[in-house]
Copies of this chain bind each other. A is one copy, B any other.
Amino acid sequence: MNAESDPQHIRFAVLAADVAVFTMREGKLLVRMMKVERPPYFPNHRGLPGGLIHPKEIAEDTARRIIEDRARIAPKKVHLEQLYTFSEIDRDPRGRVVAVAYIGLVAWDQLSAEEQKDSPSTWWAPVKGTSRLAYDHDEILKVALNRLRSRIEYTTVISKLVRKEFTLTELEEAYECILGKSLDKRNFRKKILKLDILKEVSGKRTIGKFRPAQLYRFTSNSVQEIEIV
């Protein structure tokens, strides 16, 4: 019998979950930040919401709890996907903490006034220009963005960032915002409609004093794997 099969000798590590919750407002991608008060390492600092995994919790439930308690957002509104597990020895200066990182996506219009609002403890920050975060959260955010970018190209995850009913222009802007490049309006429409993942809904939306736009919604509520963009 070796050391590991004897429970007395089992080695422990601290396990945490960190979450990069994204939303989109006025064509800008935002990420949820929280205050990190960890003197002397991170006095008056900021980072992604995170916390330790409880003994009777799967990592995804930890992520949900953190979204609720730390990010102050109702977790059932947030679409979660596991991102990567970060286990660098010194990623937390207080000791060995391994973090299972998640990506969270939520549509801005699904958020309550409270959830949209910024507070001293948690707030929305534009992704562009967000850096110098506590722990290894710069790295986590970078990996999360890369994953988000690649996933919108072959899945329908973008459905979790736009409102339930949207115009094709809004959808195109969401793609452009995450991909960081502009798309051809006519080609985008042809392509997205041919995929057969959207359905027209009866209403139209008027923005300002101009021509109203047809509204659409995703036919399926679940994230599907298809070739987009």
Contact = CB atoms under 8 A, between A and B. Distances in A.
A11 B94 CA distance: 14
Interface string A98-139: 101000000000000000000000000000000000000000
A87 B53 contact: yes
B5 A38 contact: yes
Interface string A62-99: 00000000000000000000101101110000111010
A27 interface: no
Nearest to A16: B4
Contacts of A5: 37-38
A10 interface: yes
A83 B7 CA distance: 27
Contacts of A178: none
Contacts of A57: 89
Contacts of A195: none
A52 B4 contact: yes
A56 B57 CA distance: 25
Nearest to A59: B87
Interface string A6-26: 010011111100000000000
Contacts of A10: 14, 52, 95
A227 to B, nearest CB: 10
B82 A11 contact: no
A55 interface: yes
A58 interface: yes
23 contacts: A5-B37, A5-B38, A7-B95, A10-B14, A10-B52, A11-B53, A11-B54, A12-B12, A12-B13, A12-B14, A13-B13, A13-B53, A15-B15, A53-B98, A57-B89, A58-B88, A59-B85, A59-B98, A82-B84, A82-B85, A85-B100, A87-B100, A98-B100
